[in-house]
Structure 1
Amino acid sequence: MHRLSPMFEARSVAVVGASARAGSFGARLAEAALSGGFQGRISFINPRGGEISGRQALSSIRELDHAPDVAVLGIGGANLEAALVDAIAMGAKSAVVFDLCQGETVNGTPILTRLKDIAAEAGLPICGGSGMGVINTQTGLVGSFYPADHMKAGGISLIAHSGSVFTVLGMNDPRFRFDLVASPGQEIGATVDEYIAYAASRETTKAIAVFMESARSPEGLVQALKLAREAGKPVVICKVGRTEESARLARSHTGALAGSHAAYEAVFEECGAISVDTVDALMNTALLCSSGRIPGPGGAGLVTDSGGLREMQVDLAAETGTPLAVLSGKTRIALREALPPELEPSNPLDCAADLTDEFPKVFDRGLDILAQAPEVSMLGFEADLRDDYVYEPGLLEHARQLRARTDKPVFFYASFGQTHNRGIGEALAEAWVPCLNGAETAMQAVKAFQAWADGLQVEVETAPEVPLGQALPAHLDEAASLEVLSGFGVPGALSQVCSDAGSVAAAGQDLGFPVVLKTAEAGIDHKSDLGGVVLNLGDAAALAAAYAELSARLGPRAVVQKQASKGVELAFGCVMDPDFGPLVMVAPGGTLVELFDERQFARAPFGPGQAEKMIRRLRVARLIDGVRGDAPRDMAAAAQALSAFSVACAAMRDRVAEIDVNPVMVTESGAMAVDALIVPAQDAVREGAE
């Protein structure tokens, strides 16, 4: 049994703070508790007793003759501690708190801290505070002050840190059908990952929609998302706090640390979650994913009643990268035979011929052919159908019967986002046909769903082993940093550290010309900014002259390095994210960073397959593959170097603050780190000094 099972599968509810006073919060609580048709036991608690909504209230939760599965605590912060202690004393298995939990207890402890301590000591899952509670549409459980009599059971479980999002999305449009709705708020006794994991375990949940400010249990989030992927349940996440100001507001709103958005995006990709930026995209994508069907390979097949909108959909698909099915010759022949001569066999397919008795039959044939085509992974249908006007009833019937045509995912959509089709959306929901509004939003949802389904077919690469106990040198200059990384398998340019003209000359002879001369004076991290790098020194005289000038300006300590072969420059980087640990970046390196402003992130460690995927998402990858007659560079070596770098980052996660390797030169026969800087963490600095 999952830890949250007693909360959502409750058979008894005690509503503390229920009231008979019309319009009061307590009255709303009582009315909401009864609104869902809950068949379990509901007990109202009010210090004055009396009758509430036709039920005799108890004056204290301690008067119960049973242990409630859920204690709904609809009271203010000053009384919450005592109420929670009483509920626990009565054996309550879970609780819901709505209050903001601000202020302090009588002994000066913050109320929120005290409640969290009580919950942790008792092992009690608590939803809230500063939230809207929980709803289970399957059982009619309503642990909220919002009534749920209008809600019908469906396949989406909505988990929203924001109470307003709970109501805006959960209570707004009947086309969205929910299994569970929960508002974890300040997560007094249960974190968002637990709600995701529980929803993923439910047969009735087909897709999980999450509006998230942050993860208080980062590793728990990773495990919950992987669990959902293994269960075949799409998780769609709208993560806010993407900007610095938004992150600051998130901290003030629920006390959540927003963390690095790049780290969250990397985690979502690693775990197979679908990331979106708006609540519109959140709900439309979750709605499309909530039928319980998974698209196979290929792309969407679309049938529309408009040639102009068909062209717009083609444009949008190209611009958003949405996969549309490429029709086979067999499918095109079948369409040609089924369509009037003026209509073209294509995808999207315009089936709007003359308005005769044959009009809906053309759509019928077109839908059937695309539904049966193996290259079509899901079937979409658009027609100008509105609540106040249906110009062809046969098309509305086609929409209602869409799911019956095929075992593939299906959806009805309207290109206009403000289409007046709330009633039609509800009617289609009864037939388990998602109704999406807005062509761009629909295309993005299709793209996300297809990518998620395709990801299920990709074997997850085993992460490389990470060696432990790696010591760091006391002084981490460029040469030492390159040497440390080479120990993990990151190839580095041959270098020698020198402190006088004689050792510089000897290094040039040992390494072989041409060489590069760089300052190695302490405190100079960005050498090129100070003119501390001299390239293409082809002989001993050039090296001696360069060293004389460099040492006079910046000091005698220098590095002589074998000049790397010409290649495509990449940059590797790593920061230690406070939530998710070492976060590895790859980007264009050297001067290319000015031409290509792009980066890819992933959590360390990862294998060469993930590394190559990251590199190939950069536009600079085209240079590595070879353009305009250039020979291709060694992509496999670049990927292996990036993977080895990720292992180094994971191994040193407790000893370094950040790592920068730039450039990494990718040549025709390998990849080599030319410059590197490891910034030790303060603990590592002190340890090295000792």
Structure 2
Amino acid sequence: MDLSRLLDPRSIAVVGASARPGSYGNQAVANLVANRFPGQVFGVHPTASAVHGVPCVPRLADLPVAPDAVVIATPAATVPGLLAEAGDLGAGGAVVFAAGFAETPGGRPLQRRLRDTALRYGIPVCGPNGNGIVPVHARAPMWGDACVLGTPGPVALVSQSGNVAVNALASTRGLRLHTVVSCGNQAVLDAADYLDTVAGLPGVRAVALYLEADGDGAKLVRALARCAERDVRVVVLKAGASPLGADAAASHTGSVAGDARVLRAVVEEAGGVWAHHPHELLELAKALGYARRAARPGTVVVTCSGGDAAIAADEAHRLGVALPALSEHTVTALSAVLPPQATAANPLDYTAVLFGQVGPTADLVAHAGADPAVGTVLVYHDRPADLDTAAAADWDDALAGVVAGAKRLDKPVLVASTLPELMPEPVAEALVDAGLVPVAGLREGVRCAGVLHHPAADPARLRAIADGATVPGAPGGWLSEHGAKELLRAAGIRIPPGHLAPDADAAVTAARRVGGAVAMKLNDADLRHKSDAGAVRLNVRGDAAVRAVFDALRALPGRGGTPVLVEEMCAPGVEVMVAVRRNGLVPVLVVALGGVWVEVLDDAVLVPLPFDAATVRDALRRLRAAPLLAGVDLDALADLATRLAALARDADLDLVELNPVIARPDGATAVDAVIRRRLHE
């Protein structure tokens, strides 16, 4: 669908325009009038001649033009019919405020009628049960709450929460929004549709995306590819950890690669940034929208407080933001400006002695920022709102020095307060006008500085991920370990030699054929955590021991007829989990330290499919446990992972988990396997 008229309207009709205070129809018209929408505005009301000075007509069909956008502020039951009228008229799109649709069981049929009508006419619809759309750049608030628009800027917000969008519009943080969308029930358009469209709007440089449901993975990744093509930065906040229920109980992969983690892997693959709460979402989007991309990752922190310097250093360490040591040349230049009691270092505490001195402050910022290891400058500056004239002059001069120093640099400069309320709106706006980035909060300052160097993503890689996204299918049946390993063997993945034994004599024969110590396991499709069930014994030697273990395993409740898998004991090595999950947002490879440590350490890296061996090797090196892999054959692990992904695709498997894979200098062996097939509707 073409959203261009809806997101940049020149004419708007409000159906349900009302003189009744507190109604959506009243507020929608009031917003357009108060914010001086420059286009045509019409009200639609059966009897009123005007609302807030806006002329009204009885029906949509009576309008003199086909409006670019129709705001429907009437009860839910009327909406499908009004959409049909808008479609007959040739309207460009609609915003629906009303609740009473699929958010309640009784409203689902009505939402289906709304959707069917919209699709029949090809008319894009925002909502229902949402706050609407605010194209700030066009001063066109199609919004159900009171809304006062500020200066437009480069940041778009697409939110599956109406309140997140309401708060963003009301915030005082120097956040100059371009377009705000509250998705509502997403009956016709979802967050990916809006992301794809706003990425192409002139003036948009960053998008804040608040999600509660992932939606169509392929469509979302294609929207991210469009953002990458246009160098539009994306920040994502996902609500809810999205546990996988039965998956989490049935496999280790489900507990370490939940839906939110898969989404995060996709976002990071797209060069995006992951936020943890709404405040951080908006600060990150603001920084990415205002600042140029940093050439390198290093950040220098400049402050007049030793405490702020120490805390910033601690936060940088926690967040993985590099604070490089300054060069000898930089130290010499800074030392010529600093008072005797200050030390030229990073973080740079220039002390209160120089606070309020424009020239020295400018020199310090310029010298520190010019260091060749520095990509971004982060200056801490708190500005209390209520200051007398003399005190205000000192604070303002200190900031003037920062601005003057920033003008001598060709690098992004951020100015952060230590507490959010110490970055007043007038100061933030002045900083934006001067080309700097205002950030509300000490930790947020470090976080924003740490993401400005992220490179742009490869759109072709993102489209390959989207093309590989699987058609939704229900989970199928689990395979027994022996059945799973037969698939692995056929795919060229190394597994221990072994045999299936239906009785004790066959178990002894199998152990003799394998030779040496063996592992013995009950083999049934419903046994996926064999250690927890007592269904596996290791290092079994000799005929008598094999018979005794066989009898003990078969004596477990309900296992009297279960065959036993007898396998060679694999030589010790590093235990790694390698898995492919294809039932989430997009198919992903999961690598983690294996065995019992998977969930305990929570140390996993996810890679969207497709991938090559080099990508797997890089993923292994990103594990916190990577030092344990020193000396093992990473090429063998990478080859195993690529073969596993191909097997999952070709055999249409829902989940394949190898845990553990024993990694050694001489190769990699899958000693346990869990596989589930997929079913299609």
Q: TM-score, normalised by structure 1?
A: 0.86
> Structure 1 residues 552 and 281 mapped into 2: Cα distance closer, same or farther (>3 Å)?
closer
Structure 1 residue 194: deviation in Å?
Answer: 1.4
C-alpha contact (below 8 Å) 1:569/1:588 kept by paired residues: yes
Task: Say which SS state the counterpart of residue 290 (structure 1) adopts.
Answer: helix
Instruction: For 1:372-451, list aligned pairs within 5 A.
Output: 372-389=370-387, 390=392, 391-401=394-404, 404-419=407-422, 421-450=424-453
Q: Does 1:490 align with 2:493?
A: yes
Structure 1 residue 328: deviation in Å?
Answer: 2.5
Structure 1 residue 175: deviation in Å?
Answer: 0.9
Cross-structure match for 2:668: 671
Structure 1 residue 497: deviation in Å?
Answer: 2.1
The superposition leaves residues 559-614 of structure 1 with CA deviations (integer Å, 9 ceiling, x where unpaired) of 2222211101122344443x525444333322444763433334444333333344
Does 295-304 or 176-185 show the bigger shift?
295-304
Task: Say which SS state the counterpart of residue 453 (structure 1) adopts.
Answer: coil
C-alpha contact (below 8 Å) 2:495/2:671 kept by paired residues: yes
Seq. identity, %: 27
Structure 1 residue 408: deviation in Å?
Answer: 2.1
> Structure 1 residues 110 and 535 mapped into 2: Cα distance closer, same or farther (>3 Å)?
closer
Structure 1 residue 21: deviation in Å?
Answer: 4.2
Task: Say which SS state the counterpart of residue 237 (structure 2) adopts.
Answer: strand
Cross-structure match for 1:255: none
> Structure 1 residues 667 and 64 mapped into 2: Cα distance closer, same or farther (>3 Å)?
same
> Structure 1 residues 130 and 459 mapped into 2: Cα distance closer, same or farther (>3 Å)?
closer
Structure 1 residue 87: deviation in Å?
Answer: 1.0
> Structure 1 residues 131 and 459 mapped into 2: Cα distance closer, same or farther (>3 Å)?
closer
Q: Which amino acid aligns with 1:366?
A: L
- Aligned mates of 2:263, 2:103 — CA distance in 1: 33
Cross-structure match for 1:154: 153
Cross-structure match for 2:628: 623
> Structure 1 residues 325 and 524 mapped into 2: Cα distance closer, same or farther (>3 Å)?
closer
- Aligned mates of 1:159, 1:649 — CA distance in 2: 34
Does 509-518 or 344-353 show the bigger shift?
509-518
Structure 1 residue 660: deviation in Å?
Answer: 3.0
Instruction: For 1:27-426, list aligned pairs within 5 A.
Output: 27-102=26-101, 110-146=109-145, 148-173=147-172, 175-242=174-241, 260-352=259-351, 354=353, 359-389=357-387, 390=392, 391-401=394-404, 404-419=407-422, 421-426=424-429
- Aligned mates of 1:489, 1:103 — CA distance in 2: 48
C-alpha contact (below 8 Å) 2:477/2:676 kept by paired residues: no
C-alpha contact (below 8 Å) 2:359/2:401 kept by paired residues: no
> Structure 1 residues 110 and 48 mapped into 2: Cα distance closer, same or farther (>3 Å)?
same
> Structure 1 residues 385 and 603 mapped into 2: Cα distance closer, same or farther (>3 Å)?
same
The structure 1 residue matched to 2:522, chosen from 519, 537, 542, is 519
- Aligned mates of 2:193, 2:511 — CA distance in 1: 61
- Aligned mates of 1:650, 1:661 — CA distance in 2: 16
> Structure 1 residues 460 and 244 mapped into 2: Cα distance closer, same or farther (>3 Å)?
closer
Structure 1 residue 93: deviation in Å?
Answer: 1.2
Structure 1 residue 309: deviation in Å?
Answer: 1.1
- Aligned mates of 1:559, 1:296 — CA distance in 2: 56
Task: Say which SS state the counterpart of residue 119 (structure 1) adopts.
Answer: helix
- Aligned mates of 1:266, 1:356 — CA distance in 2: 43
Q: Which amino acid aligns with 2:306?
A: G
CA RMSD of aligned residues (A): 3.4
C-alpha contact (below 8 Å) 2:304/2:355 kept by paired residues: no
- Aligned mates of 1:605, 1:485 — CA distance in 2: 19
C-alpha contact (below 8 Å) 1:382/1:412 kept by paired residues: yes
Instruction: For 1:520-539, list aligned pairs within 5 A.
Output: 520=523, 523-538=526-541
The superposition leaves residues 112-170 of structure 1 with CA deviations (integer Å, 9 ceiling, x where unpaired) of 22111111111111111111211222221221234554411111101111111111111
> Structure 1 residues 244 and 504 mapped into 2: Cα distance closer, same or farther (>3 Å)?
closer
Cross-structure match for 2:255: none
Cross-structure match for 1:479: 482
Instruction: For 1:548-587, list aligned pairs within 5 A.
Output: 550=553, 555=561, 557-577=563-583, 579-587=584-592
The superposition leaves residues 623-651 of structure 1 with CA deviations (integer Å, 9 ceiling, x where unpaired) of 222xxxxxx22233223323332332233
Q: Which amino acid aligns with 1:351?
A: Y
Q: Which amino acid aligns with 1:165?
A: V
Structure 1 residue 620: deviation in Å?
Answer: 3.0
> Structure 1 residues 320 and 14 mapped into 2: Cα distance closer, same or farther (>3 Å)?
same
The structure 2 residue matched to 1:453, chosen from 452, 455, 470, is 455
Does 88-97 or 61-70 show the bigger shift?
61-70
Task: Say which SS state the counterpart of residue 57 (structure 2) adopts.
Answer: coil
Q: TM-score, normalised by structure 2?
A: 0.87
C-alpha contact (below 8 Å) 1:605/1:649 kept by paired residues: no
Q: Which amino acid aligns with 1:431?
A: A
Cross-structure match for 1:252: none
The alignment of Structure 1 onto Structure 2 pairs a total of residues equal to 655
- Aligned mates of 1:127, 1:402 — CA distance in 2: 45
Structure 2: gaps of 5 or more residues? 246-257, 471-475
Instruction: For 1:582-597, list aligned pairs within 5 A.
Output: 582-593=587-598, 596-597=601-602
C-alpha contact (below 8 Å) 2:192/2:219 kept by paired residues: yes
> Structure 1 residues 87 and 503 mapped into 2: Cα distance closer, same or farther (>3 Å)?
same
- Aligned mates of 1:386, 1:474 — CA distance in 2: 63
- Aligned mates of 2:645, 2:495 — CA distance in 1: 15
C-alpha contact (below 8 Å) 1:463/1:607 kept by paired residues: no
Does 386-395 or 284-293 show the bigger shift?
386-395
Structure 1: gaps of 5 or more residues? 247-258, 626-631, 685-690
> Structure 1 residues 122 and 150 mapped into 2: Cα distance closer, same or farther (>3 Å)?
closer
Q: Which amino acid aligns with 1:587?
A: A
- Aligned mates of 1:103, 1:504 — CA distance in 2: 58
